[in-house]
Structure 1
């Protein structure tokens, strides 16, 4: 399918973006009213954020440290609440077993 079947393509501009590793990405954007050129673009080589300022690229995103389920529970509950809940559950188990 050629250009004759699709119609003429919109005029385009190429914008350079650089990531923290020095990679350059050059996506193209249509030159039409209402088309905004983003300040940042994802580097296609390494996945880091890339900006239009070659000397000052955006900082890489901070990776969240993996947390266990227990770590999340400890964020929501104090030690005394945890001990209270544990004692309650152990009591229920003992009653079910008939060992209380």
Structure 2
């Protein structure tokens, strides 16, 4: 076992890195964004940076806007569609009947060859 008073996980000379080592930070501006649930997010941006019109709320995930009285509406989510629902969008009932008849005829022909 190593003896000594060293604090584990540190090095000699290690300390908090401050502005003297990193340089000065850019001047910042805090912008408020409100979501439809009334949550306020306050991210900060550099003064010369382009500020986005919307910001996702870290609490509920809804988009937030700068106008507290009129926040953006929650995005509409599409319900889950099954494979059959997508097929029905592309094909009419008559097309489905024709494809089914073709597949059944093919199966009957294969079975006749096995008998």
- Fold conserved between structures, TM > 0.5: yes
Aligned-partner Cα distance in 2 for 1:96–1:5: 80
Superposed CA offset, 1:30-82 (max 9, x none) = 112xx210111000000011101101110000010111111110111111111
Aligned-partner Cα distance in 2 for 1:45–1:37: 20
In structure 2, runs of 5+ residues without a counterpart are 1-16
Equivalenced residues, count: 97
The structure, 1 or 2, with the larger RCO (C-alpha pairs under 8 Å, 6+ apart) is 1
1:15 paired residue number: 31
- The CA RMSD over aligned residues, in Å, is 1.2
Aligned-partner Cα distance in 1 for 2:111–2:21: 78
In structure 1, runs of 5+ residues without a counterpart are none
4+ long deviations beyond 4 Å: none
- TM-score (norm: length of structure 1): 0.90
Against the structure 1 CA distance between its residues 97 and 5, is the aligned structure 2 distance closer, same or farther, given a 3 Å change threshold? farther
Structure whose alpha-carbon radius of gyration is higher:
2
- TM-score (norm: length of structure 2): 0.79
